[in-house]
Amino acid sequence: MHRYPLIAVLIPLILFILVVDASYQREAPVYPKETTSYLVEVLANPVRRPKTWRMPVALLAYKQRDSIQVRLSSDAMNQAMIYLMVDSGVPLPRCSDRLWLTTRMVSISDSTANLPAYYQQYLYHNGYPFTAVVYPDKWTLFSPGILPDLYRSTPLRRRISAHFEYQRQRLLSYYHTLFRPVDTQRAVFPTIPLSDRFSLLESLSIGQRQHLSEKVKHDFSASGISHLLALSGFHLVILLFPFFWWQKLDRRLGTRIVQALLIVLTMTYFTYLSGAPISLCRASLLLASCYILSLFSTQISILNNLFLVAIVMLIAHPFWLFDVGFQLSFTAVLSIRIFHPLLRITIPGKNAIADPMPRWQKPLIRYLWDPLSVALAAQIGTFPLVVYHFNQFALYAIFASVVMIPIITPILYLAWGMPLVHLAITQLGQIVSHDFSSFSKLLDHLLAPFLSTLLGAMLYVAQTVNQLPSASIHFRDLQWFELTINYGIVCCIYQLLKTKKHLFYSMLLLILIFLLLILSRF
């Protein structure tokens, strides 16, 4: 406990949140039970569902008996999850748009809502006590100049939100120009639709997953690699990899301060550009704390920094504790930090005496086992949570993740690098008063087919893994005490892995336990 003192703060905070959630229910505002007109502000871009578009909104005002009732901006429960029906050809509303809706607000606890228990808990913990279905002819855009200061009223916050929304649209417009030459894009993996490639690129680059088709989501989920679609520390490490080389080349204090400042600014901008998902907020805060502390100390405790980030995020938003992404994100990092050192393979150096291993085998083993051990370490800690929340387990998830790493890495560098190069060429042309657009188009023409091929390969791997026998094993609903027993087994595995002499037997026991858990579900 003395090595990681911040866990002594984190555990009481988690227990306090659990007690408050069990004993205290937040009061939701009362709205008319009949169909009424509501003025709402869209809080996030709509996400496509099978028949509707789902989007969170803030309720600003509503009409009652020919008068407008204004809701206070400080009321955190004046939010709802809306399911919008849109006619073909009608543009979708975007984040920060204001709409007039004619609908009936239904409480999530109302029996007429027909919501599953787990979805009610999700909406409640995220501050959406109401839900409603809005038909195509029952909503219209509202003038943004009216009632400008009701919700999230600070002009600075609105300007920041508008800036990042504008940058996202610019980036998506640039991606659209890359996918116009259809004949060159479908040369490889012709069975993969062009729309799926574009939506996958949109998800990997800026975390916008609302245009992913249900088939793509199902393939990634059944293959156990849906975490690659959610921006996290893995994507940040790839983004910041050039800074790592710069840090190795120059270790002076002044340069390190500039490096840390640039890293923090880059992570902050990228986090806001991606909509600030929980996994990316966790990764950004963790990496930022590590870099800042590295300026003052050579010894950094990853676990202490992880506990500190968890404390800060839970203080800012206590009900993030019940978010599945928050739980899986922190559990995966904690599991990698605990189990990965125990799964490493010691490879003799170049000058080792009586080393029968050929020299070419050493880097091969290292490059194959290192990502596999990281995926296995994360899987050990997250397996009970995945089964508890999703009632399924992807049997080939570890191997699929390792196969995806060499595919997704160049995709991310191309997805982020090509727009930056295009912007730099455009700015250079404006400075020197010369048109370099032909060079920029030539570069896009050369790299776009390669990017499309990699996206098609990623979709093809997910589709192929999903078609393997027993790719996804389904379980019955687990109870909380079964989750506790599973994590007790994980603790026993950790104790066995600490002794390197029993590594083989520990791995055999781990496989046996997983098989018993799988067989017990049938």
Query: Measured between alpha carbons, how far is residue 19 from residues 15, 188, 283 in Å?
Result: 6, 55, 28
Residue-wise pLDDT tens digits, 309-353: 889 888 888 888 888 888 888 898 888 888 888 877 665 555 444
Secondary structure E strands in 395-498: 472-474
**437 pLDDT higher than 80:** no
**522 pLDDT higher than 70:** no
pLDDT score recorded for residue 358: 60
- 3-state SS track over 184-216: HHCCCCCCCCHHHHHHHHHHHHHCCCCCCCHHH
Q: What is the mean pLDDT of residues 185-211?
A: 79
Could you tell me if residue 490 is inside a domain?
Answer: no
Could you tell me if residue 430 is inside a domain?
Answer: no
Cα 424 to chain centroid, rounded: 29
pLDDT score recorded for residue 519: 54
Range of the domain at 46: 36-141
- Cβ–Cβ under 8 Å, residues 238 and 413: yes
**283 pLDDT higher than 60:** yes
pTM for the structure as a whole:
0.79
Could you tell me if residue 170 is inside a domain?
Answer: no
Could you tell me if residue 407 is inside a domain?
Answer: no
Could you tell me if residue 83 is inside a domain?
Answer: yes
Average pLDDT, the chain: 78
Which of 74, 97, 75, 73 is closest to 150 using CA atoms? 73
pLDDT score recorded for residue 152: 47
Could you tell me if residue 65 is inside a domain?
Answer: yes
Tell me which of 63-67, 130-134, 368-372 is least confident: 63-67
Max mean pLDDT among 156-165, 236-245, 389-398, 452-461 falls in: 452-461
**155 pLDDT higher than 80:** no
Q: How far apart are CA 53 and CA 94, in angstroms?
A: 12
Per the structure, how many domains does the chain have? 1
Which of 193, 201, 203 is closest to 176 using CA atoms? 201
Could you tell me if residue 125 is inside a domain?
Answer: yes
Residue 298 banded pLDDT, cuts 50, 70, 90: low
Could you tell me if residue 412 is inside a domain?
Answer: no
- Cβ–Cβ under 8 Å, residues 335 and 377: yes
